[in-house]
Chain A
C-alpha cells in the first residue's frame, strides 16, 4: 500500500489573490470608522493607540479587522478628512496611507501601540523565526499557511488559539477605567461601549482567521488540528515589569525605567474623587500636582501604560491533537515480547507487538510519535490467539486523518507482513474514551488458556473427570519466585472457573489443558506448583508431578474492540 500523497497548498498564487481582492471594501472601513465618536478616536490616536485597539475598545467585531488598509494613518485620515470622497480617490488615498504604515522604512515606523504592544499592528521582534514581509494580517496568514504546508499537514478545518502576555489584560482594564472616567458623561458612552471591549486575543483572531481560511481552503472551528499563536514578551520588551495577578484595581506596578513606582489609574482615580479637585495629592515621587483633570488624565494615560520598550516575540505552532487506534492483536510467535524489551543494549526476543503495530501505523499516518497500551499482557513465550487482546495506539500529530478504508488497508498491511509474527483484528479509529473502555473492568475479566502439560505418570479416565468436575476452584498463590524480585511477597487467592483435559494422540503423559481463570492468575505456577507455593496445583489435584511446556492465551473476555 502506498503512502498517500500529501496535498499541496500552493503558496504564491494565494499571496497574489489576497492583495488583488481584499475582502473588506474601503467604503466599509470608512463607514465603520465614521461610526465611532471622533473626539475619543482622536484622543486615543494621539496616545499612540493603534487602529485595531481603538476598534476593540468600541466593541467592533468581525472581518473588518482583517482589512489590510486598516492602520492608524488611514483611521486618522478618515476621521480628519472629508466624508464624501468618491470611491477612487478614497481607495488610492488609503493605499498611500497603508504603504506608509506597513512599510519597513524605519522613518515611517509608527510607534508601538501601548495597549497591545504591537501585536495588533503585526510588528514583532527580530528574533521571530520567520520575518513578516509586511506588517499586515495577510502576511501573518501567509506565514502560517506556509508552515502548515511545509510540515505536510492535510486538513479539512482548523482551530486557532492565541496566547498573549498577561500585561495586555492589565492594560485593557486600565484603559477602560480611563474611558469611563473621561467619557462617562458623553451621550454616546452607554450605547457605544455597551458591548464591552473586545479582547486583544479575539481581535487578533478576527484579523487572521478570514485570510487564513482563504489560504488553507477550509473553515475554522473546534477541530483537532490546532494552530497556536503565542505572543510573548521578548527580552527587549520585558524590562523589569512585574504584573501582579488577580486583583484588578489598586495595583502597584514596578518598572525598571522609572525610579519610583508607577501606580495604576484606578487607584489614582479613587484617590482624586475623594479629595478636592483643585488640590490633588501626588502619589508619584517627585511629581508636581496636576492643575486640571484634563491635563492629568492625558498625562496619566501615557504614564500608567508601561512604556513599551520593544515588540513581542511571535511564535506559530501547529499540530494535530492525538488520534487513537483501537483493535485486538494476536501474537503467533513465542519469541516476541508485547512491548519493546531491552536489557543492557540487547533486545530480548526478536521483535515486539508494540513496535510491529505502532511503527506501521506511525509511518502510514505520518505522525511524530506513538504510544502503545494494551489490556493486560502475556509472557514473551506465550502466544496470544483466539479473538485477540484489546490494544490502543495513540499517535501524536498525524499529518492526515485516516479514513475508514485507509484503516482497513492498514489492518491488511499488518496482517500480510512477511514475518507473520503478529496479527490485528477490528482496527478502527476511536475517540479518547477508548482508553477508559479498555481499562474498565480489566481486573475483573476472565481469561482463557490452553496449556501443554506433562505429568509423571500416564493419564487415566478418572483424571479427566476429576479435573472437569472442579468448578470455580479457589487456589492460593504466593508471589511466584520468577517475579518475587520485583513484586510484593503476598498470598493471592484466585479462581479457576473451569478446566478441561484434551488428550494428545500418541502420548499418554502429555495433554492439553484448557482452562478459564480469574484475571491475574499465574497459569504456569498453577501447573507446576512453584515448589508448593501455589496450592492446589495440577500436580496436587492429580497426585503426581506436573510440568508445563507451552502456554497459549485463547480468549480475553472483554467487551471492547469487538467486530
Chain B
C-alpha cells in the first residue's frame, strides 16, 4: 500500500471505529430487552403478505383457466395478480412480455396524486388491466374488483420474468381501491385460500 493509500485507509478506519463505538452504545438493559428467545421462534414465519392481507381467488375469470388472486389489506386496498394456476404459466418459457396499453389507455401512464386519489381511473371488475404474452399466446388480465386504479406494477414492463419467479410478491399486477359496498358485492364471487387449494389441487 502506498503512503497515500495508507493514510486514507487509516482515516476510514478511525471513522468507522467512531461509528462502531456509537453503534455499540446500547446499554446492558437495552441489550437484554432486545434479545429474542431463539427457542420460541418459528422455523418459517408467516410472510408479510400472509400477516397483513387476506387472499382470495377469482377462478376462470371471464375465460377458463384465467385464475387471478385478490389480496385484500385491512385498510381495504386490493393487490391484484396472477394465481399460480393461471394457464399462462403452463406455456413453455412462461411469460415473456407484459403490456399495459390495453382498452382505451395505457394503464402504466397515469399518475394518481393526492390523499383522496380523486384523479384515479374508475374501473369495473371486467376492465382490462394488461396483456401478458407467452411464446405462443397472450392473455388479458382484468381488475376482478370494481374500484379506483391506484397503481400498476411498472417493473413488469422491463422485467416480465418477475411473473414467473414471484407472481405473488414482486410480480403483482396492480393495486385497486374499491368502495366498501363494491367489495362486498364482488367478495361473494371469490373463493378463499382453502377453497382454492381444494379446487385447483395445489398444496
Min CB–CB distance B110 → chain A (angstroms): 11
List 16 interface pairs A-B (beta carbons < 8 Å), by A numbering. Answer: A385-B34, A386-B26, A485-B177, A488-B114, A489-B117, A489-B150, A500-B23, A506-B38, A510-B41, A531-B170, A547-B46, A547-B47, A549-B41, A549-B45, A554-B26, A554-B34
Instruction: Decide: A488 near B115, CB < 8 A? Known: A500-B23, A504-B36, A531-B169.
Output: yes
Nearest A residue to B78, CB-CB: A481
Tell me the A548-562 residues at the B interface (CB within 8 Å). Answer: 548-550, 552, 554
Provide the bound-state CA to CA distance between A241 and B45, in Å.
78
Q: Are B38 and A489 in contact (CB under 8 A)?
A: no
Provide the bound-state CA to CA distance between A529 and B172, in Å.
13
Q: Are A489 and B36 in contact (CB under 8 A)?
A: no
Nearest B residue to A332, CB-CB: B33
Q: Are B175 and A484 in contact (CB under 8 A)?
A: yes
Tell me the A461-500 residues at the B interface (CB within 8 Å). Answer: 471, 478, 481-489, 498, 500
- B11 within 8 A of partner (CB): no
Contact partner, B76, options A386, A450, A485, A512, Cβ 8 Å = A485
Tell me the B113-128 residues at the A interface (CB within 8 Å). Answer: 113-115, 117
Q: Are A481 and B77 in contact (CB under 8 A)?
A: yes
For chains A and B in complex, what number of residue pairs have CB atoms within 8 angstroms? 96
Q: Are A512 and B79 in contact (CB under 8 A)?
A: no
Provide the bound-state CA to CA distance between A481 and B150, in Å.
10
Instruction: Decide: A488 near B113, CB < 8 A? Known: A450-B34, A481-B79, A531-B169.
Output: yes
Instruction: Decide: A512 near B52, CB < 8 A? Known: A507-B41, A531-B172, A549-B45.
Output: no
Q: Are B23 and A532 in contact (CB under 8 A)?
A: no
Q: Are B169 and A532 in contact (CB under 8 A)?
A: yes
Nearest A residue to B114, CB-CB: A488
Q: Are B45 and A547 in contact (CB under 8 A)?
A: yes
Min CB–CB distance A213 → chain B (angstroms): 52
Q: Which residues of B contact A506 (CB under 8 A)?
A: 38-39
Bitwise, B152-174 to A at CB < 8 A (1) or not (0) is 01010000001000000110100
Min CB–CB distance B12 → chain A (angstroms): 10
Provide the bound-state CA to CA distance between A554 and B38, in Å.
21
Nearest B residue to A512, CB-CB: B34
Provide the bound-state CA to CA distance between A271 and B166, in Å.
95
Min CB–CB distance B113 → chain A (angstroms): 6
Provide the bound-state CA to CA distance between A514 and B19, in Å.
13
Q: Which residues of B contact A313 (CB under 8 A)?
A: none
Q: Are B117 and A529 in contact (CB under 8 A)?
A: no
Q: Which residues of B contact A478 (CB under 8 A)?
A: 151
Min CB–CB distance A430 → chain B (angstroms): 26
Instruction: Decide: A510 near B117, CB < 8 A? Known: A481-B175, A484-B77.
Output: no
Instruction: Decide: A510 near B73, CB < 8 A? Known: A454-B45, A481-B79, A487-B115.
Output: no
